[in-house]
Structure 1
């Protein structure tokens, strides 16, 4: 039962193969088994690849089965259309486009399995890439908020500078009226005279202005700091909202790109393995000698071709014969006097009718 199934997978003519030897049947059963298991591997590979895209096992397996059936049909077609010829170069020319197609199929099948085999290494590469993307994302978002925060911080610095300058002015006025009282500057008189009182009043007024300026700037700085805090909150929210996009950076294309960053030799050997599996039925047919199945298949095909060629030649001969008979018959009729007189009479009547019609037309014109 299993042997018949694999023979069916090989795409060979089962009616002809039934009358061949067991060795010939085993050869095509082996080819069919290769075609079948290649389709199974294609189903597994496509299911995994589509799972990384849809994150749904049912959808992935469904499409994977369809893909496996497609690969099975292509492989079966490739193997079944290779016919043994009397010249090896004719077989090579016949097999070349099929080998190219088999190479493409091998690449398509091997790549998803490479992604699964090197999954841990790919995850490490993706983790590093995600970290880089996270830092780059934070820098890009920060560029949207940094100018505004810097401007607000400059405003705070300006307000603080105003306060410091006012404090320096008050301190200078304080020293002025103290030294005036000590007699070390100003009028150089010891004691609290009118000049001292004037300088003291000026200092007290500046001190009141300083206190008012401190209170005012303190409120302004508090408002600016609240704006800065709001900008920092908005920055954190934007970074947090964009992080899931980076966390989801593990799709099929990202994994293939990460795989390409790994050493190429292991992936290349896996590709060679699937290439050998995919092309083995083709090369098996090329290098194997012409067997009884090939002779019987050629006999069946040439029998049909001979019959078709015979029918076409018969139709050509029939057409040539019919044309020769028609030419001879019309040549004999052309020599009959009765037919000549009849056609002469009809031609005279036709010319008379034409002359009458021309006369009537000219008459009406006048």
Structure 2
């Protein structure tokens, strides 16, 4: 049963192969097994690749099965159409398009399995990329808020500087009226005279202005700090909203890009392995010697071609003979007076009817 299944996979004519030796049947069963397992590898590789895209087992298995069947049908067709003529150059010419296609398919098959084999190394590279993207994303978002935050910060610094300047002014006035009271400056008279009172009033007025300025600027600073807090909240919200995009940066293309950053030699050997697997059916057919089945198949095709050629020649001879007979029959009939008189009579009646119909159509116009 298993041998019959693999022979079916090889694309060989089972009824013709049954007339051949057991060795010939085993040879084609081996070729069919190669075709089958190549399709199985294609199914596994494509299913894993599509799982990384859709993250769904049913979709991955469904599309993987379609891809595996496609590769199976393609390999089976190519293997079955390579004719063993005994001339390797001719057989290689037949297989050349399939070999080119095998390289493309090998790349498609090998890449997903490379992603699985080097999964841990790829995860490390992707983690580094995510960290870099996170910092870059935060910096880009910060550039949207930084000008406004800097402007508000400068405004707060200006308000604080205004308070500090006023405090320095009040402190200076305080030192002046104290020095006046101590007699160390101004009138240099010890005691609290009129000048002292004047300078004390000036200090008190400046102190009152300072208190009012502190109150006013404090409310302004509080409002500005609230704006900065709102901007920081908006910044954190935007970072939180965009972070999932960075975290989900682990799709198929991202993983392939990460794989390309790893050393190329291991990936190259894996590609060679799958290239060998993918070309195995065609190589097996090319390396297989011309056997009993190939001879019988060639004879059957030659018999069919001979029979088709004979039938075509017979049809051509029949058509030629029929033309000759028709020419003779119609030539003999054309000389009979009775047929000539009858045809003349019918032609005369037809012309009369045509003239009457033309006359009626003309009289309708007037």
TM-score by length of 2: 0.90
For 2:333, the equivalent position in structure 1 comes to: 333
**Aligned twin of 2:130:** 130
Partner of 1:120 in structure 2? 120
- Equivalent residue of 1:321, what SS? helix
Partner of 1:158: 158
Please name the residue that 1:10 is paired with. Answer: 10
Q: CA RMSD for the aligned pairs?
A: 2.5
What whole-Å deviation, never above 9, does each CA across 1:55-108 have from its counterpart, x for those lacking one? Answer: 333443343333323322222222112112254433222212222222222222
Aligned to 1:89: 89
Q: State how far apart, in whole Å, the 2-side matches of 1:347 and 1:5 are.
A: 74
Q: CA deviation at 1:362?
A: 7.3
CA drift at 1:307: 2.6
Change over 3 Å in CA distance of 1:356–1:241 after alignment to 2: closer
Q: How is 1:158-177 mapped onto 2 (pairs within 5 angstroms)?
A: 158-177=158-177
> What residue number does 1:303 align with?
303
* Structure 2 residue aligned with 1:27: 27
Aligned residues: 366
Gaps of 5+ in 2: none
State the distance in 2 between where 1:87 and 1:284 align. 16
Question: What is the Cα deviation at residue 365 of structure 1?
Answer: 7.5
TM-score where L is the length of structure 1: 0.90
Q: 1:185 Cα deviation (Å)?
A: 4.7
Write out aligned runs for 1:1-366 (5 A): 1-85=1-85, 87-183=87-183, 185-187=185-187, 189-351=189-351
Deviations 1:207-237 (A, max 9, x none): 0110121122223222322332232233223
Distance 2:359 2:222 in 1: 119
**Displacement of 1:288 after TM fit?**
3.1
Q: Unpaired segments of 5 or more residues in structure 1?
A: none
Q: Deviations over 1:252-305 (max 9, x none)?
A: 111111111212221111111111122122123223332111111122233333
**Worse overlay, 139-148 or 115-124:** 139-148
Q: Which range moves more in the overlay, 322-331 or 279-288?
A: 279-288
Cα distance in 2, alignment partners of residues 144 and 207 from structure 1: 41
